[in-house]
Structure 1
């Protein structure tokens, strides 16, 4: 079964909730109206019964109760209540005092009916409903004392049973009218809810649809141009997340393309050297010494290729690592000591000066790569009898400074802006064979991962590369 679209779901939920709310409200209104009309009918019947009791008076001999009402007034009362009936009897003797209208549908109660009724309030009322040929009727039965005895008599008060019957047809007609109005209003409200639901769904999903269409137009190498409403709601935040994701994806694609280009650029020449050596060696029979010479060239070239591949893989990993979430406390002085001692000629040529408590936030392994490459680069370009100076200092409480200085030929001013580019080598050809031009590029990338920069100071007497790290407290 095909699932509903988001717009359809919004419409269905909105209309469904509206229907539920309307149904609950309509039922509550109908029940409230029915209870109100029923209570009004009961109150009217009780008032009629009380009036009938008031119209019952002693006869002229003060021996019995009789009903006294002007005929014209009785006719007007009967006309105002068509279909109603009433009767008055003495109780429990059941002697009739007054009767009007059709026969009451409910039989007379038994003599012991309401035996425990408390008539201190001078009346007691009970309501019943009966089914008749013309529909349902409502019956009010009231027990009440007659008006007070004449002062000259010592006779006891009479108890009267007054019964009033009213047809429920008018009440049911009013309730039917209320129901028709409620249903009509509900249908109109439902139609309005459907239209409003579509408008609401379009307003909610419209920005998402526009965002999706814009995202579908994004192509590799092109900046993501996603619409932003500027209201800082969930849609705008989704747009920001998508744009950030597209940016990261584009960066990943660029890194992949860059790695492929770098590898092809740097490995082309060594492969050509190996191929050429093999072709020359196979042209004719040669001595063992000649083959040894060819194999030495192949081995040196393969070793250089290995270093290039390792450097490229490291750069690719650095390109992908752009978060400080796995950083920890690192003693940069200890890293410098370990790197200096790991180099074979380190003891003779490296002058080490390390401050205490040179703690930074970073990746221990990457920081070792940074220091190793700085030392190797300085040793490569310094004369064999000249030392390389490695210092880790804390010039103030705000940071830790790593410096590596050599006594090489220096870097021309025109080349200083490019020395951190990949495969760039600014020195004489005698030194170019020793490296692939990736050492300082790795230094720059490691520094970038740690949100710092490598700076260069160079003269004819040598070069100093400096990296300043924030202290642990600030980096945290």
Structure 2
């Protein structure tokens, strides 16, 4: 078995080349010998016709006009090796001898008054055997030339095999050197042939596989990181409840923790399915109003605690579901960290969506830290190619989002 496709292709091309050379050489020799035999046969036929015509006109056998041809009136006069062929019943024969003679025999029957008369035309055609003479004189040169041509053909087959298989070998090396975290960019993807199509499809498949693995890794990491904090707070509250009843503030914090866990799970599953969520153009103001309306209906904020500075219609490009999750989490964080008495201001200036809420410094004991949840929000924005930044202060917290307009 060949170690690579290049070796197999070279062996196939080389074998085909040698086979063609051998076949054409054999065919050329066969044609040369057949042509030589046909020439001698035509000479004997011509001499036979001339002798027959002369015998009809003059009643006598004329001497052959070609000095290579001799006429024998009886079998006994023929050379012994030729007599054996005649005795075997052959009327035409080609006979080679060990002494160098090469005979062509033809039987000629003449119609005479006393009955048919048989003559034997025998030609020693050694001087006409040009093929054998040519092989003897220039056979070495012909063999050397043939070997040179075969070598040239093999060299050409070698370079052809390298040139034809080289793109596949490069593609194989690039596939072999791929790493799970590396970029997928095959050099042959721009070719306009089957190799280019294969490289493009392989690149797409590997990129999708790497993206799926990264999402799975991110999902596992985020589940461990994002859910740990609210679960810890809830466990602490439940631990305190063992020594007494829960206060209204503790119940509200438990409810907020459950809401945060539910929102985090929604975000994680949305990000895990990000490749199946298409981008579209939609009204961002509608998503903001939907999120704020839900909190107002729950009594989280009053009308005096909200300030909207948005255009009547704010079209952006992204995913409506992910955007709603992003706004819900930002507003939920503002409510959680700022408290029920905080004020929220939502504005859109120079292509930047700003969400700013006041922070009560006295609630620091109930806060989990501004860094909690930021990783998920950045992942949501990155999934839609948006930018998001966070600015935390002692009395205010601001989130700036730059959507694609």
Residue 193 of structure 1 aligns with which residue? 153
Structure 1 residue 410: Cα displacement: 7.0
Residue 307 of structure 1 aligns with which residue? 262
CA distance in 2, matches of 1:300, 1:68: 135
CA distance in 2, matches of 1:429, 1:131: 114
Consecutive unaligned residues in structure 1, runs of 5 or more: 60-64, 114-124, 147-155, 324-372, 386-407, 449-476
CA shift in 2, pair 1:184/1:168, >3 Å: farther
271-280 or 176-185, which deviates more: 176-185
CA distance in 1, matches of 2:253, 2:298: 27
> Which of the residues 180, 198, 215 maps onto 1:255?
215
TM-score norm. by structure 1 comes to: 0.52
Is residue 215–residue 272 contact of structure 2 (8 Å, CA) maintained in 1? Answer: no
> Which of the residues 97, 106, 112 maps onto 1:140?
106
TM-score norm. by structure 2 comes to: 0.59
**Is 1:106 matched up with 2:88?**
no
- Deviations along 1:326-382, one digit per CA (max 9) or x if unpaired, are xxxxxxxxxxxxxxxxxxxxxxxxxxxxxxxxxxxxxxxxxxxxxxx9998476234
CA distance in 2, matches of 1:223, 1:439: 24
CA distance in 1, matches of 2:85, 2:174: 84
Task: For residue 105 of structure 1, give the secondary structure of its aligned residue in structure 2.
Answer: helix
CA shift in 2, pair 1:421/1:180, >3 Å: farther
CA shift in 2, pair 1:421/1:22, >3 Å: farther
**Is 1:245 matched up with 2:230?**
no
Structure having the higher helix fraction is 2
Structure 1 residue 211: Cα displacement: 3.5
> Which of the residues 359, 368, 381 maps onto 2:295?
381
> Which of the residues 173, 184, 204 maps onto 2:132?
173
- Deviations along 1:170-195, one digit per CA (max 9) or x if unpaired, are 37725856987775554333212221
Residue 472 of structure 1 aligns with which residue? none
Task: For residue 82 of structure 2, give the secondary structure of its aligned residue in structure 1.
Answer: coil
> RMSD value over aligned CA atoms?
5.2
Residue 266 of structure 1 aligns with which residue? 226
Structure 1 residue 319: Cα displacement: 2.1
Task: For residue 166 of structure 1, give the secondary structure of its aligned residue in structure 2.
Answer: strand
Is residue 129–residue 138 contact of structure 1 (8 Å, CA) maintained in 2? Answer: yes
Structure 1 residue 18: Cα displacement: 1.7
CA shift in 2, pair 1:438/1:104, >3 Å: closer
Structure 1 residue 57: Cα displacement: 7.5
TM alignment of 1:291-440, pairs within 5 A: 300=255, 303-304=258-259, 307-308=262-263, 310-312=265-267, 314-321=269-276, 377=291, 380-383=294-297, 409=306, 413=310, 419-420=323-324, 422=326, 424-426=329-331, 429-430=334-335
Task: For residue 44 of structure 1, give the secondary structure of its aligned residue in structure 2.
Answer: helix
- Deviations along 1:122-173, one digit per CA (max 9) or x if unpaired, are xxx9522446453663311122447xxxxxxxxx486442322234653772
CA distance in 1, matches of 2:55, 2:159: 69
CA distance in 1, matches of 2:80, 2:52: 19
TM alignment of 1:151-170, pairs within 5 A: 156=113, 159-167=116-124, 170=129
The number of equivalent residue pairs is 327
Residue 186 of structure 2 aligns with which residue? 226
Structure 1 residue 12: Cα displacement: 0.7
Structure 1 residue 267: Cα displacement: 1.3
**Is 1:276 matched up with 2:236?**
yes
Residue 86 of structure 1 aligns with which residue? 71
Residue 36 of structure 1 aligns with which residue? 35
